[in-house]
Structure formats: structure tokens, C-alpha cells
Amino acid sequence: MPTYNISKPKSDRADKPAFRRCLDCREEFLSSWSGERICRRCKSDDESVRAARHFDGVAFQ
């Protein structure tokens, strides 16, 4: 009986630093890998401050 490789294939693209827009404040920042989508400023903000920005509409401008 033949055997099959059913593991997830490796990506041809390596994670590289790139400029991306923060999903919270929409400002552009240097992201160190493809999964980093929140800027340092927003990560360091208190959770209540982040929530207030969303209700004020700042995050969606």
C-alpha cells in the first residue's frame, strides 16, 4: 500500500520585516513578521484606552 505525505507544505516565502498598517490605530509601522499586525504603541496601551479609541471611531478612519 502506498504512503502519502499529508503534512502542511512549507511556505516559499520567509517571514520578512515589512511596513504594515496597525489594525488598531491604522498607522503604518515596521512589522518584524507577517503575523504582527498591532503596532508597539497600541500593544502598550491600556485595554480601556484601546476600547475608547474604537468607540470614538479613531480606529476606523
**Each residue of 37-55: pLDDT tens digit?**
999 999 887 665 666 666 6
Helices of type H across 8-60: 40-44, 47-56
- The pLDDT score that the predictor gives to residue 3 is 83
Span 18-36, pLDDT tens digits: 999 999 899 999 999 888 9
CA angle 38, 12, 36 (to 5 degrees): 5
Could you tell me which of 60, 27, 61, 20 has the C-alpha nearest to residue 42?
27
Does the pTM surpass 0.75? The reply is no
- The pLDDT score that the predictor gives to residue 52 is 65
